[in-house]
Structure formats: C-alpha cells, structure tokens
Amino acid sequence: MAKIIAGFASSHVPAIGAAIDNKQTHDPYWQRIFSGFEKAKKWIADAQPEVVIAVYNDHASAFSVELIPTFAIGCAAEFPPADEGWGPRPVPVVKGHPQLASHIATSAILDGFDLTIANKMEVDHGLTVPLNLAFGSPDEWPCPVIPIAVNVVQFPPPTGKRCFDLGRAIRKAVASYPEDLRIVVFGTGGMSHQISGPRAGLINSKFDKAFLDRLTKDPKGLAAMPHIEYMREAGAEGIELVMWHVMRGALDDKVKEVYRFYTVPASNTAVGNIILENVAKPAKKAAAKKTAPKKAKGLRKAA
Amino acid sequence: MARKAQDYDDIPGTFVFDAERSRQGYGINMFCMSLMKEDNRKAFKANEAEYLKKYPLTPEQTEAILKRDYNRMLELGGNIYFTAKLGATDGHSFRHLAAEMTGATQDDYAKMMLEGGRSVEGNRSKSGKYDTPVKKAVAKPKAKAAAKSAKKSKSSSKRK
C-alpha cells in the first residue's frame, strides 16, 4: 500500500533557480541560502521517496489569464520545463506518475474535490526550484513527481481550509493505492514577500516563524486564517503560503518536525523550509486500535 | 464604473489582482504573455506602439506600457507575473522591477532587503486600523520618504 511518509515545504524563489543555473551557488549571498538546505537534502536522500507529490503554483507560464484552474493535477507522463521568458531552465524534464496521479484525481473527485486534469503541462520555477533545493542538480530527478498546481495568481486563491482538505483527500487517495510506494508531499511558495507595487520588499519574519510553529502544532487553526491576513501581514504574494496547507493536510494530525530553516532575503523574499514526518505507521496503528489501544505507542516505537 | 470597494484596498501600496482587475487588464496581461516568444519580443522591440495595436488596450494602458510605468500597469489590471515578462524583455529581474515600483534606487532597495526587508510595522493599512503603535522608531525606507516629500512638493507647487 502506498503511504505518505513526510511533508517538505520550501520557498520557490525564481532568483534561487537563476543562481543555480548561473552557477552562483558559492557566492556568499547565495551560500547562506544553499547551505541552509544541506540538511534537508541529506534528509530526503535518506528518506528515498519513490514519488513526490508537489503542490506549487504556475507563474503565468503554463496558464495565462485565459484559463485559471483553482486546482490542477498533472496526470501526464512528463512535464517539460517552461520557457519563462529567457529560455527553459536547464533542469531535467519532470517525469510524472500517471497511474497514481489518475488514481488521486479519481478518488479526490469522487470525494468532492473537482480537480482539473492536466495531461499536457509545462512546469516553471515554482516546481523546479524546490526540486533543486531537495535534490540538487542531478541529470535526472531521482523519482517521479506529480505536480498539483494551485491558483494563487488571481484573487481569490482557494482558502487555507480548502487546501488543507485537499491534502486530506490526497491522503485518503494514497491510502487506497495498492502498490507499495513511499511518498513525500511538497508544499511550495512563500514565505513573506511582496514583489508588486510601492510596498514591494515587505518581509515579516515574526509572521513567518509563527506560521512555521503553527504548521506543526496547530494546522487546522492555521488553515482557518483568512486571505486578507496573509496579504496584509506577509505581503501580497505571501498568500502563496496557502499551498503549504495542502502538504500539511496530507499528513497525520501529529507530526514530528525534523528540520527547519529560515533566512532573509533571497532576492525579494523570505525563504523557509520545514520537514514534517508522520510519526505513526498507519497500518500498525489501525491494527493496534482494534486490539490494544493503550499499547499503540509502544508498538509504534518498536516498529 | 468605479471599482467596488474591497477590504484589501486598505493595504497600502498594493494592487490586489482580483477578478475586476483581471477583466480590466486582460489586454495588458495577454500582451505580456506574448513576450514569452523570442519572435514576438523582437517584433515588439522593433516597433512598440505598432505591436501594441494588436491587443485590446485603452490609451492609458498603452501609455503605461510604453512608459514602463509598472505601478500604473498594476493599477490598470496588469499582474506582476505577467508584467515581469515585459521587464525580462528589457533585461530586468523581478528585483529590479520591485525596486522601481517602490521608487527606490536599485542600491537602496538591495540594501533594504539585505537588512531584513521592509518592515510590516506602519505598512499594514492605510486606515491605520491594523497597525499597533510602534514602540521603537522604525526607519522608513529612504525612497518612501523621498517619494512623500516629492508628493508634498508637487501639491505645494500646485497650490502656488
């Protein structure tokens, strides 16, 4: 049976991609940021996910104002990097997992989530920068990736609660997929930033750190935050953070925070990274509940 | 028709790209989208005014594009992810455009970011409703102060 083992959330600043592509990662400015992801890279190398489900947003690359899907799931076999105005990023083509993606789409739609199905889609820095931050710059990405694009460009994006509930629907779908697969769900975007208008350059570290704290401990309360609060406190584009709720909703209520990194700035943006592991082993937990609920903790430890 | 008032209109220095702006700015954004192709970038650069005639733009929108007035483009329905493609056509990064929209010099803007960015204190709302009294003085970005004094001098010159 497929299972979600952890969530990995990270900013997806385009300038980070440009720094990688232009081989500037060792410049002191960028070194500060890339060194902060070293532990995350090590963690994911050890975790060896067999599929990544990556929740991200398109930045007027695959979707313009002609078509704005609120949630779109990529069911294609591959997703080429988009030309964002200066040629496609020199990163590997993202290979999908059409069977699992279609399974998630079917399950989620029947569960009340009317996902848009994308069978042809190019992916931009919103998806490929977090892949770089997690996996470096390999010739091929180490595992298939299922992209889930969320509209955060035209207001309103889906609510935090709706994002969280989509995570729940993804979790349910994964649990009914027969093949044994270890899955990590990525949430991307944020953290606080504003890149438009005279208030550009806004950073709110206090907000960001509280967001990281509550993401671990109070995910449902955090997901209830109204849009206006993101925009006012974390900048007009800080609203990208709603995508982190999809990742969180896909995890157990109780998670273990295994790593966190936060720095300011990367170009215009505060950069955050958090890794949350599911503590319980789903199958054993269910079995333990039926027989001896009090021993569940011990069982988990032993497992 | 006047814009319908929204709670987020109270956020200073911010143009939220909502459905109304999206309708209004459709031409701006689709023009910007066309700049993702090299041939179109060349055609635009060869004769900007002529190229813009292909898109449904108001005279104000055309003027804002030709003048590279990025704030005005946002006000008239442009979205930053789209207008950034115009910036890229001119060889500018997001950060360059951001600095320009704040009225700061590139150096001052870069410095502000390195020092932790623009503080949210005093920048939450036009009405002041959401800003708690600031205990210690927060240094305002020079550019903003400069822009303010520029505005003042403009209005005083009008009075004259």
Q: What is the residue range of B138's domain?
A: 105-159
The answer to whether the CB atoms of B116 and A231 lie below 8 A apart is no
Specify whether B133 is located in the same domain as B69. Answer: no
Query: Nearest to residue A203, comparing CAs of A242, A240, A244, A234?
Result: A234
Q: What is the residue range of A99's domain?
A: 3-302
The answer to whether the CB atoms of B14 and A270 lie below 8 A apart is no
Query: Nearest to residue B95, comparing CAs of A235, A200, A273?
Result: A200
pTM: 0.88
Strand A145-150 and strand A116-118: the pairing is unpaired
**Residue B5 burial by CB count (10 A; 0-12/13-18/19+): exposed, middle or buried?**
exposed
Report if residue B2 sits inside a domain: no
Specify whether B51 is located in the same domain as B122. Answer: no
Backbone angles phi, psi at A269, to 5 degrees: -125, 150
Report if residue B92 sits inside a domain: yes
Interface test with A, best of B7, B32, B92, B95 (most A CBs within 10 A): B95
Predicted local distance difference test score (pLDDT) of residue A258 = 97
The pLDDT tens digits for B48-62 are 999 999 999 999 999
The pLDDT tens digits for A60-111 are 999 999 999 999 999 999 999 998 877 899 999 999 999 999 999 999 999 9
Flag whether pLDDT at A45 surpasses 90: yes
Domain final residue pick, B80, B99, B118: B99
Specify whether B49 is located in the same domain as B118. Answer: no
The answer to whether the CB atoms of B11 and A236 lie below 8 A apart is yes
Specify whether B23 is located in the same domain as B76. Answer: yes
The pLDDT tens digits for A165-185 are 999 999 999 999 999 999 999
Chain A residues touching residue B78 (CB < 8 angstroms): none
The ipTM assigned to this model is 0.90
Q: Is A59 a catalytic residue?
A: no
Specify whether B88 is located in the same domain as B152. Answer: no
What is the number of structural domains in chain A? 1
The answer to whether the CB atoms of A203 and B118 lie below 8 A apart is yes
Strands (E), chain A: 3-10, 51-56, 71-74, 78-79, 94-95, 116-118, 145-150, 182-188, 255-266, 269-278
Flag whether pLDDT at A297 surpasses 50: no
Specify whether B18 is located in the same domain as B65. Answer: yes
Report if residue B11 sits inside a domain: yes
Report if residue B1 sits inside a domain: no
List CB contacts of A16: < 8 A, sequence separation 6 or more: A30, A33, A129, A132, A133, A266, A267, A271
Chain A residues touching residue B146 (CB < 8 angstroms): none
The answer to whether the CB atoms of B94 and A66 lie below 8 A apart is no
Predicted local distance difference test score (pLDDT) of residue A301 = 41
Residues A268 and B94: beta-carbon distance below 8 Å: yes
Specify whether B113 is located in the same domain as B95. Answer: no
Residues B78 and B86: beta-carbon distance below 8 Å: no
Chain A residues touching residue B81 (CB < 8 angstroms): 59-60, 153
- One-letter amino acid for residue A297 of the chain: K
Flag whether pLDDT at A23 surpasses 50: yes
Report if residue B110 sits inside a domain: yes
Specify whether B22 is located in the same domain as B65. Answer: yes
Specify whether B95 is located in the same domain as B43. Answer: yes
| Closest Cα in chain A to B102 | A198
pLDDT in tens, chain B (160 residues): 678 899 999 999 999 999 999 999 999 999 999 999 989 999 999 999 999 999 999 999 999 999 999 999 999 999 999 999 999 999 998 899 999 999 999 999 999 999 999 999 999 999 888 876 544 444 444 444 444 444 444 333 333 3
Residues A131 and A55: beta-carbon distance below 8 Å: no
- Angstrom distance (rounded) from CA B123 to CA A215: 25
Predicted local distance difference test score (pLDDT) of residue A271 = 97
Measured at the CA of A262, the angle between CA A260 and CA A264, to 5 degrees, comes to: 175
Among the residue ranges A37-46, A235-244, B32-41, B150-159, the one predicted with the least confidence is B150-159
Query: What CATH number does the domain containing A156 carry?
Result: 3.40.830.10
